[in-house]
Amino acid sequence: MTDENPTAALEALEGEALRAIALAEDPDTLERVRVDFLGRSEGRVSAILRGLGRLPPEERPAVGQAANRVKGVVSAALEERMAALSTGPAAPPVDLTLPARTRWKGGLHPITQAVDEIWRIFRDLGFTRARGPEADTEWYNFEALNTPLDHPAADEQDTLYLVDSVLLRSHTSPVQMRTMERHEPPIRIIAPGWVYRRDTYDATHTPAFMQIEGLVIDEGVTFVDFKATLAEFARRYWGPDTRTRFRPSFFPFTEPSAEVDVKRVITRPDGTREETDWLEIMGAGMVDPNVIENAGYDAEKYTGWAFGMGPARIAKLKHGVDDLRTFFENDIRFLAQFAS
C-alpha cells in the first residue's frame, strides 16, 4: 500500500482480492482471504478505512467512497464464491469418462436374425439354401403338393390370387418342388422366404410372413432321420438340454405328419434351472409318396421328410414378444433392442 495514493492502492487490493477469491478451492482458504482483506483488525481494506482520519480532510470523502466500494465488491465476490464452494466440489463442465456417442449403425431385423440362425444350423447339418418365385402357379403351390384345388387352403378366402391360376405362394413348398424338378436326390435344402395368406392382421397373424421350410429326399431316409435331425436342430437352437415332442397332426403333403414341440431349460441368473411349457415350433412329417412322384422321382426308391416353420413365431418365443405386429411397425425403439 502506498501512503501517497490510497485510491490506487485500493484498486490494486481489489484486483488482488478478486484473484485470491477466484483461486480459493475450499471454504477455509476463502475464509483466510476474507480475513486478509476485510478482517476487522488485520484486513488490508479495513486498514485503509481506519486510516482515513490521518488523510487531509479534502481527500477523505473520495478515499472513503473508494474503500467502501472495494469492500462491497470484495464482499459480494466472497459470498458468491462461498455459495459455489458450499454446493460441493465444482462439477467439471464435461464428463470425460462418458462413453462416446456412437453413430446408429442399424442392425438386422429380429426376423432376419432368426432366419440366419436357423439356416446356419441346417447348413452345418449339410443343407443348402434354395429359393424361388413369390408368385407361382396353383400347380406348384397346391396340386403338386397333394392339395386338390377344392381343398379349403386353396380357397380364395385363404389365398391371394393374382390372375387365373397364378397366386402369391402360401408357403415355400413350391421352391422345394421346383428344386426337385431340377436336381436328382439326394436333396437336403432349406427354403426361407416371404409367403402370403389372406389373414386378418392381428397379434398372431400377418398376411405376409416369413417361412422356412426344409426338405430331405434320399434312398433309405426313415422316420428316425426325421426325428433325430429335428431334435438335434432343437438342441442347437434352444440349448443342449432341450427336449422335443412329436404330436400327431395332418398336412396334405406329409404322411405321417406331426407338430413339433420343444421344452426348454432356462438357467436363471442365480443359477437355478426351470423347464418351460411345451412350445410348438414347427409342422413336419414324412413326405407323402404322391409328392415324391409329382416331383418326378420314384417313390418306391426314394423317401424323405420335410418341415415348415415361421421364424417370426420363433423370434416371438425367443424374445418374449407378445404381439407379432410389433415386428412390422418398424418402431426403431423396439427394433433397436434386437440390434446386435
Residue from 310, 312, 316, 338 in contact with ligand 2NL (CB under 6 A): 310
SS3 68: helix
Q: Distance (Å, rounded) from C-alpha 127 to C-alpha 181? A: 17
Give the DSSP per-residue string, 91-129.
Answer: PPSS-TTSPP-PPP-----HHHHHHHHHHHHHHHTT-EE
Among 287, 312, 314, 315, binds ligand 2NL (CB under 6 A): 287
Binding positions for ligand 2NL, 162-201, rule CB under 6 A: 173, 176-177
Cell of 170: 402360401
Using rule CB under 6 A, residue 308 touches ligand 2NL = yes
Q: How far is the CB of 211 from ligand 2NL (least distance, A)?
A: 6
Letters for 244-283 (x = contact with ligand 2NL by CB under 6 A, - = none) are -------x-xx----------------------------x
Q: Least Å distance between CB 93 and ligand 2NL?
A: 58
Among residues 45 and 187, whose Cβ is nearest to ligand 2NL?
187
C-alpha 282/C-alpha 313 separation (Å) is 9
Give the shortest CB-308-to-ligand 2NL separation in angstroms: 2
Half-sphere CA count of 36, side-chain side, radius 13 A: 14
CB of 306 to ligand 2NL, least distance (A): 3
Q: Which residue, 71 or 316, has its beta carbon nearer to ligand 2NL?
A: 316
How far apart, in whole angstroms, are the C-alpha atoms of residue 96 and residue 329?
A: 37
Q: Which is nearer to ligand 2NL, 67 or 130 (CB)?
A: 130
Q: Which helix (H) or strand (E) holds 156?
A: none
Do residues 283 and 251 make contact, with C-beta atoms less than 8 angstroms apart?
A: yes
| Residue 258 zone, left/alpha/beta (φ > 0; ψ -120 to 50; rest) | beta
For residues 292 and 253, give the distance between their C-alpha atoms in angstroms, rounded to a whole number: 10
Three-state DSSP class for residue 100: coil
Residues shown for the chain: 340
Q: What is the smallest separation between the CB atom of 113 and ligand 2NL, expressed in angstroms? A: 18
Tell which one of 306, 314, 315, 321 touches ligand 2NL (CB under 6 A): 306
Q: Which residue's CB atom is positioned nearest to ligand 2NL?
A: 308
Q: In what order do the strands lie in the sheet with 161-163?
A: 135-137, 166-168, 161-163
Least separation in angstroms between residue 158's CB and ligand 2NL is: 14
Cβ distance to ligand 2NL smaller for residue 287 or 315: 287
Report the alpha-carbon distance of residue 213 to residue 114 in Å, rounded: 13
| CA proximity to 251, closest of 169, 327, 146, 334 | 146
Among 192, 193, 285, 311, binds ligand 2NL (CB under 6 A): 285
Asked if 136 touches ligand 2NL (CB under 6 A), the answer is: no
Positions 211 through 250 that interact with ligand 2NL (CB under 6 A): 211, 213, 215
Nearer to ligand 2NL, 38 or 144 (CB): 144
Distance CA 8, CA 62 (A): 12
Q: Is 284 one of the binding residues for ligand 2NL (CB under 6 A)?
A: yes
Per CB under 6 A, residues contacting ligand 2NL are 173, 176-177, 211, 213, 215, 251, 253-254, 283-285, 287, 291, 306-310
